[in-house]
Structure 1
Amino acid sequence: MDPIQVQGLNHWFGTGEARKQALFDVSLTVARGSLTILMGPSGSGKTTLLTLMGCLREVQDGSVRLLGTELKGADTATQEAMRRRLGFIFQAHNLHESLTARQNVLMGLQVHGRGDPARQDVAVAHLLTLLGLVDRIDYLPANLSGGQKQRVAIARALVANPDVVFADEPTAALDHDSGYLVVRMLKDLGKARGTTTVMVTHDTRILELADRIVTLEDGRIVSDTGVEKVDRKP
């Protein structure tokens, strides 16, 4: 079963005369293990669609099935259970300033409730090392650059091996090499573990890594390269 199935999705913001429609009859199916990029101008509905698929907004009209669960009308317990199976990467790193890089990433494991505590620290150190932070593992966020903070946030999202990763401009604070490394890692997770990634970006440097590029304008999908490039592990 495809991990994300969207059908006839509409969404509005505001009430009364200020009510404005942000998405119009959006339908989209995302294959397991794929790296799908959402593009489009500001205000096109990319982030709105991402947050609806990621169980961060209430589905108002239409259907969103995430990992086999219908999100429209889902109760709070169901939504929380779904979010524990996901990884989120946002442009704002949202790190806890009083915790070191290591401790911030450990929180990602504790929130998901996964892993043997005796092995968690090894997994965290390994991931931070892969992201080029071997000499910053025990630094507080105040002593990290913006790009280093973003890489810590990315490690926190990936450390629990989520089924689906939702990323909103994850490379915006990173230089070319670091951004490419992060997206390449997401791509490799799709091949090795079946991790599905949906990413909003304006970063044209990483488009070659995408299995699929979906473009939105004014709340509608206007272009979709399809899923022909998806390389699933046998």
Structure 2
Amino acid sequence: MDQFPITATRLNHWFGTGEARKQALFDIDLSIPRGSFTALVGPSGSGKTTLLTLLGCLRDVQEGSAQLLGHELNAASETDLILLRRRLGFIFQAHNLHESLTAIQNVTMGLQVHGRVDDQWSARAAAHSLALLGLSERLHYLPANLSGGQKQRVAIARALVGNPDVIMADEPTAALDRDSSANVVNILKRLGQARGTTTLMVTHDNRILDQADRILTLEDGRIVKEEVRGA
């Protein structure tokens, strides 16, 4: 297994073309250890989500090196990127649930992305993932009958159900109360300790920073501070 499943070296990124072209990331260097829980913080517009989507194979790498699970992302083929995405779990602030599917059906879809097709096994795994997030009484509820926080927990369960090697999360706890937020972070940390799952989370949620193994601070597209906890 890779000691550093997420790395970047002199990673730069721009938006726009011509005179409207603007640099969003400047010479990003980072190495995130396997099994760690890393928080990515900084003011709005500092480049956090841009960096997350580059490292998560959701944007093309323009300049510099970004490696995920030992694979170079710069100039990677679409086939390679698809295979890498199957090893990731994505959690975003927008839950993006299918309104016509129940909670357990939405989570089961997360397994289909990973190529799992055993219906009986998938249903058990989805139910277990939802139960971990306190939703065992809501398995067969449609999103319209769930609160905002419950919808977000379904989305988190969907990202976790396939036992991904890396979890990329963008403000996943913003809609959650204190107890639910703490439970999510505890689950992610337990996955890191038990399975070596690596989490990179963009957050403004100060409630969870004390639980992070490391905190990377971005300002104006640059990493200006790296704090390692427990070191």
Distance of 1:55 and 1:11 partners within structure 2:
14
* Cα deviation 1:34-85 (Å, max 9, x = unaligned): 0000000001011111000000000000000100110000111111111000
Distance of 1:222 and 1:193 partners within structure 2:
30
> Does 2:141 align with 1:142?
no
On the 8 A contact 2:41/2:203 being kept in 1, the answer is yes
Q: In structure 1, give the amino acid aligned to 2:115.
A: G
Instruction: Structure 1: give runs of 5+ residues left out of the alignment.
Output: 230-234
> Does 2:223 align with 1:221?
yes
On the 8 A contact 1:169/1:201 being kept in 2, the answer is yes
My pick for the range that moved more, 7-16 or 220-229, is: 220-229
Per-residue deviation, 1:116: 4.1
On the 8 A contact 1:31/1:227 being kept in 2, the answer is no
> Does 2:204 align with 1:202?
yes
1:29-178 equivalences under 5 Å are: 29-114=31-116, 116-178=118-180
Q: What residue number does 1:232 align with?
A: none
Per-residue deviation, 1:117: 3.2
Distance of 2:228 and 2:138 partners within structure 1:
40
My pick for the range that moved more, 40-49 or 120-129, is: 120-129
| Misfit runs of 4+, over 2 Å | 114-118, 226-229
TM-score by length of 2: 0.97
Aligned pair count reads 229
CA RMSD of superposed structures (Å)? 1.1
Distance of 1:35 and 1:87 partners within structure 2:
14
Distance of 1:171 and 1:16 partners within structure 2:
38
Distance of 2:188 and 2:132 partners within structure 1:
12
Per-residue deviation, 1:118: 2.5
Distance of 2:100 and 2:202 partners within structure 1:
29
Distance of 2:228 and 2:133 partners within structure 1:
30
Identity of aligned residues (%): 70
Per-residue deviation, 1:114: 3.2
TM-score by length of 1: 0.95
Distance of 1:109 and 1:91 partners within structure 2:
20
